[in-house]
């Protein structure tokens, strides 16, 4: 009996010893020097900002796939690439916008007086309703459409949301909510039966009432074709034709800018709608688009699990590898200036951090119980499109995906600070991150939940998957040409990658499945 007890203890001891040895060996493989080498390539001028789609993004994808192969990660369905089909939208040649008042028509000039959005195309003519901010927010007891019928009408709405600069605003203080986004306003107008939308810069907060709409290269000549919007091909659908109009239009409709300002001030002070039909006025508009199919790739690599009962369950480690591209060096006013948005921190940093975690797992002789899928997402900068494509077209059953860890912008600010995002979505993921961090030593910040919808983990949470997102914070170089490798802290990326490795190792080798909070499950 003593011999049997001794043998059992010995087996348990060596198993625990082997597990700890595997963790420490994996951590040792994560290297700031590897990070420096990989990020220097991914954020180089030669990759021209890794726009989705672009030949340079394809080169970056091949680089990542080659690293996966070197590290022993396996392809999925015979490939390291998940092909994503997009539709690229350009502004057509026939666009106009007119006001018809008392039988007389006034035309407005594209670019100066109005700019189309990239939501929907078509030719329409209809009566007009002013619908405040165009918001229906039941949780705030606010509805601009209360008591007004907009079916078959074109609605005029203000940009942003009530009390936008008031820290005490019910609309999440001074932080913008989803209700402030033009796409939400157009979708909400559609759901109320409108056939078109005109968005106005709000006069209380803008001295210059200039239309922005979408930044079309045909209108804003310093922009390259690479800045054109894209949509997922399988999701392609048109919203309503929509434009943003400026001061000349406001004067034509309201008589004076001060009239609109007074209306806006009243809405902000009372949080009561001031919507009304504008009598004896019609709007006519035509928005035309030219569309083409284009392609990019999510890059995937698999570590197969070793446990017969758990290997079909997937832990995902993700980072987007695209950025926003470049301006043509011959563009107006840009001669001699840096024109490439290298995206060293956003998000070559997260990508190389993910590669180090993949290397640590891939080169280990001891494989985790659960399988781990590493994904470099395309199209994040275009609206989280690559990750949305994956969760809607998963390579493994989505119900078998038990957790997702996201790395996005992890290479700047203090080496000891890290923002933990997604902690309010899963107590399990929060606890695991905090417990594993005891061995790493970051001082976590928990004030980033407002940024949760802005990165790829949001699409996984929408499918009911527990997530956590490591982020080192924004800085003065965010989405500027100055986001370059020379400003990256390679040691910080190494430190974040080690934390990510510990968290993923813990989840992949546990029999416990993390949970998403009930109130955070997708609607």
DSSP codes joined into one string, 226-239: GGS-EEEGGG----
The per-residue pLDDT for 221 is 83
Yes or no: say if 305 and 394 are a contact pair by the CB < 8 Å rule. Answer: no
Residue 383: closest CA among 178, 95, 146: 178
Alpha helices in 228-384 (DSSP H): 247-254, 257-270, 350-362
Q: How far apart are CA 209 and CA 427, in angstroms?
A: 45
Q: Which residues of 376-400 are buried (b: 16+ CB within 10 A; e: fewer)?
A: bbbbbbbebbbbbbbbeebbeebee
* Cα 494 to Cα 33, 345, 414, distances in angstroms: 9, 13, 13
**What length is written for the chain?**
523
Max CA pair span of the chain? 103
Can you tell me which residue has the tokens 């605003």? 169
**What is the SS3 assignment for 315?**
strand
The per-residue pLDDT for 16 is 44
Q: How far apart are CA 507 and CA 495, in angstroms?
A: 19
Angle at 205 between CA 263 and CA 275, to 5 degrees: 25
The per-residue pLDDT for 12 is 40
Yes or no: say if 182 and 157 are a contact pair by the CB < 8 Å rule. Answer: no
Yes or no: say if 25 and 364 are a contact pair by the CB < 8 Å rule. Answer: yes
The pLDDT profile of the chain, 523 residues, written as one tens digit per residue, is: 444 444 444 434 444 444 555 788 889 999 999 999 999 999 999 999 999 999 999 999 999 999 999 999 999 999 999 999 999 999 999 999 999 998 899 999 999 999 999 999 999 999 999 999 999 999 999 999 999 999 999 999 999 999 988 888 888 888 788 899 999 999 999 999 999 999 999 999 888 999 999 999 999 987 878 889 999 999 877 789 999 999 999 999 999 999 999 999 999 999 999 999 999 999 999 999 999 999 999 999 999 999 999 999 999 999 999 999 987 655 544 555 788 999 999 999 999 999 999 999 999 999 999 999 999 999 999 999 999 999 999 999 999 999 999 999 999 999 999 999 999 999 999 999 999 999 999 999 999 998 999 999 999 999 999 999 999 999 999 999 999 999 999 999 999 999 999 999 999 999 999 999 987 764 3
* Cα 90 to Cα 32, 181, 238, 331, 376, distances in angstroms: 42, 21, 14, 19, 27
Yes or no: say if 171 and 163 are a contact pair by the CB < 8 Å rule. Answer: yes
Q: How far apart are CA 123 and CA 59, in angstroms?
A: 41
Specify the DSSP class assigned to residue 453.
Answer: G
Q: What share of the chain is helix, strand, coil (3-state, %, to 5)?
A: 35, 25, 40
The strand pairing partners of 116, in sequence order, are 243
The three-state DSSP-derived secondary structure of 87-106 is EEEEECCCCEEEEEECCEEE
The per-residue pLDDT for 89 is 95
- Provide the pairing of β-strand 230-232 with 81-91: antiparallel
The per-residue pLDDT for 85 is 98
Query: 145 is written with which tokens?
Result: 């459409």
Q: H or E stretch including 437?
A: helix 427-437
Query: Using alpha carbons only, how large is the chain's radius of gyration in Å?
Result: 26
**What is the SS3 assignment for 152?**
coil
Q: How far apart are CA 372 and CA 361, in angstroms?
A: 9
Question: How many other C-beta atoms can be found within 10 angstroms of the C-beta atom of residue 424?
Answer: 14
């Amino acid at each position: 009996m003593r011999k049997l007890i001794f043998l059992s203890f010995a087996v348990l001891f060596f198993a625990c010893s082997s597990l700890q040895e595997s963790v420490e060996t994996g951590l040792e493989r994560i290297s700031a020097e590897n990070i420096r080498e990989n990020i220097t390539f991914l954020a180089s001028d030669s990759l021209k900002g890794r726009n989705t789609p672009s030949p340079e993004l394809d080169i970056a994808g091949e680089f990542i796939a080659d690293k996966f192969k070197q590290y022993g990660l396996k392809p999925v369905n015979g490939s390291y690439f998940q092909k994503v089909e997009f539709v690229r939208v350009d502004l057509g040649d026939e666009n106009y916008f007119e006001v018809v008042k008392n039988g007389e028509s006034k035309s407005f000039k594209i670019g100066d007086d109005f700019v189309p959005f990239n939501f929907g195309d078509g030719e329409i003519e209809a009566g007009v309703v002013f619908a405040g901010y165009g918001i229906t927010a039941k949780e705030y007891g606010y509805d601009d459409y209360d008591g007004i019928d907009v079916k078959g009408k074109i609605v005029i709405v203000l940009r942003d949301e009530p009390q936008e600069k008031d820290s005490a605003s019910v609309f999440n203080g001074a932080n913008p909510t989803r209700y402030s986004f033009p796409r939400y306003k157009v979708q909400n107008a559609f759901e109320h039966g409108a056939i078109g939308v005109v968005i106005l810069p709000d006069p209380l907060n803008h001295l210059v009432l200039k239309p922005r709409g979408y930044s079309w290269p045909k209108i804003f000549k310093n922009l390259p074709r690479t800045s054109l919007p894209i949509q997922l091909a399988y999701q392609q659908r048109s919203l309503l034709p929509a434009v943003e109009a400026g001061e000349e239009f406001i004067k034509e409709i309201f008589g004076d800018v001060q009239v609109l300002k007074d209306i806006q001030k009243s809405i902000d002070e009372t949080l009561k709608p001031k919507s009304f039909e504008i009598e004896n006025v019609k709007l006519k508009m035509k928005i035309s688009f030219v569309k083409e199919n284009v392609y990019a790739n999510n890059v995937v690599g698999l570590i197969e699990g070793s446990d017969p009962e758990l290997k079909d369950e997937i832990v995902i480690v993700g980072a987007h590898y695209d950025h926003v591209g470049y301006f043509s060096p011959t563009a107006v006013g840009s001669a001699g200036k840096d024109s490439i948005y290298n995206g060293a921190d956003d998000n070559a940093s997260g990508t190389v951090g993910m590669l180090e975690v993949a290397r640590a797992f891939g080169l280990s002789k001891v494989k985790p119980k659960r399988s781990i899928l590493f994904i470099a997402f395309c199209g994040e900068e275009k609206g989280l499109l690559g990750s949305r494509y994956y969760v809607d077209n998963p390579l493994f059953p989505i119900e078998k995906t038990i957790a997702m860890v996201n790395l996005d912008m992890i290479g700047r600010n203090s080496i000891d600070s890290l923002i933990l995002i997604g902690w309010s979505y899963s107590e399990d993921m929060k606890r695991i991150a905090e417990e594993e961090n005891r061995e790493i030593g970051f001082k976590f910040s928990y004030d980033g939940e407002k940024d949760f919808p802005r990165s790829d983990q949001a699409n996984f949470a929408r499918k009911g998957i527990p997530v956590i997102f490591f982020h080192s914070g924004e800085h003065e170089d965010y989405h500027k040409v100055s986001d370059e490798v020379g400003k990256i802290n390679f040691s910080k990326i190494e430190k974040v990658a080690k934390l990510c490795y510990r968290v993923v190792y813990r989840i992949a080798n546990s029999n416990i499945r993390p949970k998403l909070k009930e109130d955070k499950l997708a609607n």
